[in-house]
């Protein structure tokens, strides 16, 4: 049951990269349930078809496009197909990411480069293409899905931390440059989100179960927690917010000493 009115995104069109799985799919569902027509884009057609059917069965107007966000031409083609069908593009959620835990000395040169290419350059490619194809003239909302841990040293995630640091920086720069076009650009930084590929891989590599009790609120996050914050940011309720990177992590990133008072 949503705390938001079901029609707050009525008439709007949203593109969610990596929207066929995990957090991205939940964002697509949440924006769709609040009135947006959604498009999901990623590399694997089978996943896109399955997610599109799942969301359509829930009454959500969903289309998909096969697209590797590292390839500007594919990104432009996906946005052109969306505009052809819907005639507008109000919201972009840059959620696509590559992730595998690895030590700095073990990760291949290509592996490090790939994560930066998907997370950071992909976010740039999609944002820029959306700007030129629609938002420069009409305004809009961009939400980048970041992470909260890159402000510290983190083991096994150096490549992701480097890429997400860039995503945060790009968020602020786009917000500053594009405010004059009526475009708001923000980021959501998810903490440990249960039942996601990201958490499964991290738990597998560290041998540590995802454990919500380590954060101040004492629970793992859900994909719905990230989707709710995204919905808020793209709604008119957040009309004066741009350039913000909002941690949605139960306070984990501000909890230096991890002492739990009784
Ligand atoms: P996920 O299920 O693995 O989702 C990643 C998505 O990105 C997939 O749908 C994948 O689809 C797509 N993708 C990967 N490479 C792509 C490319 N080159 N072009 C287009 N799409 C591509 O992961 P998740 O755990 O839900 O994470 C979603 C977001 O939250 C990511 O930005 C992640 O960094 C962030 N995050 C997650 C957590 C967590 O606890 N899970 C914590 C912090 C941040 P295809 O394979 O079909 O391309």
Cα 183 to Cα 202: distance, rounded to the nearest angstrom? 34
Query: Is residue 35 in a domain?
Result: yes
Q: What is residue 212's predicted lDDT score, i.e. its pLDDT?
A: 66
Query: Is residue 255 in a domain?
Result: no
Q: For ligand 1, what atom is nearest to the CA of residue 160?
A: 34
- Centroid of ligand 1 to alpha carbon of 248 (angstroms): 17
From the number of C-beta atoms within 10 Å of its C-beta (0-12, 13-18, 19+), residue 256 rates as exposed
* 214 CB neighbour count, 10 Å cutoff: 16
Q: How many domains does the chain contain in total?
A: 1
Cα 64 to Cα 15: distance, rounded to the nearest angstrom? 9
Query: Is residue 8 in a domain?
Result: no
Query: Is residue 124 in a domain?
Result: yes
- Centroid of ligand 1 to alpha carbon of 178 (angstroms): 26
Residue by residue, pLDDT tens for the chain (262 residues) are 899 999 999 999 999 999 999 999 999 999 999 999 999 999 999 999 999 999 999 999 999 999 999 999 999 999 999 999 999 999 999 999 998 999 999 999 999 999 999 999 999 999 999 999 999 999 999 999 999 999 999 999 999 999 999 999 999 999 999 999 999 999 999 999 998 888 888 777 776 666 666 899 999 999 999 999 999 999 999 999 999 999 999 999 999 998 988 8
- Residue whose Cα lies nearest atom 41 of ligand 1: it is 198
- Centroid of ligand 1 to alpha carbon of 197 (angstroms): 8
- Centroid of ligand 1 to alpha carbon of 64 (angstroms): 16
Q: What is residue 202's predicted lDDT score, i.e. its pLDDT?
A: 78
> Taking CB atoms and a 6 Å cutoff, what residues make up the pocket around ligand 1?
17-18, 20-24, 42-44, 47, 67-70, 95-99, 118, 122, 145, 147, 190, 192-193, 196-199
- Centroid of ligand 1 to alpha carbon of 237 (angstroms): 27
Contacts of 158 (CB under 8 A, 6+ apart): 104, 107, 112
Contacts of 106 (CB under 8 A, 6+ apart): none
Q: Per this entry, what is the length of the chain?
A: 262
Q: What is the 3-state secondary structure (H, E, C) of 42-101?
A: ECCHHHHHHHHHHHHHCCCCEEEEECCCCCHHHHHHHHHHHHHHHCCCCEEEECCCCCCC
| CA proximity to 82, closest of 16, 152, 174 | 16
Structure-token pair, residue 34: 């609040």
CATH number for 38: 3.40.50.720
Query: Is residue 134 in a domain?
Result: yes
Question: Which domain, by its residues, includes 116?
Answer: 13-249
Name the residue of 71, 76, 77, 97 to mutate for ligand 1: max ligand atoms within 8 A of Cβ: 97
For residue 198, what are the CA distances in angstroms to 97, 114, 173, 214, 236? 10, 16, 27, 18, 30
Query: Is residue 7 in a domain?
Result: no
- Centroid of ligand 1 to alpha carbon of 262 (angstroms): 37
pTM of the predicted structure, to 2 decimals? 0.98
Query: Is residue 258 in a domain?
Result: no
Q: For ligand 1, what atom is nearest to the CA of residue 19?
A: 9
Query: Is residue 146 in a domain?
Result: yes
Q: What is residue 213's predicted lDDT score, i.e. its pLDDT?
A: 66
């Amino acid at each position: 049951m949503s705390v938001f009115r079901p029609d707050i995104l009525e008439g709007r069109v949203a593109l969610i990269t990596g929207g066929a799985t995990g957090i991205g799919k939940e964002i697509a569902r949440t924006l769709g349930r609040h009135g947006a027509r959604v498009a999901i884009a990623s590399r694997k057609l089978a996943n896109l078809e399955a997610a599109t059917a799942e969301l359509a069965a829930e009454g959500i107007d969903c289309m998909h496009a096969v697209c590797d966000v590292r390839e500007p031409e594919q990104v432009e083609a996906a946005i052109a197909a969306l505009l052809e069908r819907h005639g507008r593009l109000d919201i972009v959620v840059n959620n696509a990411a590559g992730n595998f835990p690895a030590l700095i000395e073990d990760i291949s040169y290509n592996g490090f480069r790939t994560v930066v290419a998907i997370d950071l350059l992909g976010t740039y490619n999609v944002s820029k293409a959306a700007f030129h194809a629609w938002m420069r003239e009409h305004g809009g909302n961009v939400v980048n899905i970041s992470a909260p841990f890159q402000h510290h040293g983190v083991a096994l995630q150096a490549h992701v931390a480097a890429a997400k640091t860039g995503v945060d920086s790009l968020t602020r720069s786009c917000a500053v440059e594009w405010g004059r076009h009526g475009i708001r650009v923000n980021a959501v930084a998810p903490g440990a989100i249960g039942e996601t590929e990201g958490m499964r891989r991290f738990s597998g590599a560290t041998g540590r179960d995802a454990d919500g009790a380590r954060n101040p609120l004492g629970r793992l996050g859900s994909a719905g927690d990230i989707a709710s914050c995204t919905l808020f940011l793209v709604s008119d309720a957040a009309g004066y917010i741009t350039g913000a990177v909002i941690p949605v992590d139960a306070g984990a990133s501000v909890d230096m000493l991890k002492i739990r008072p009784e």
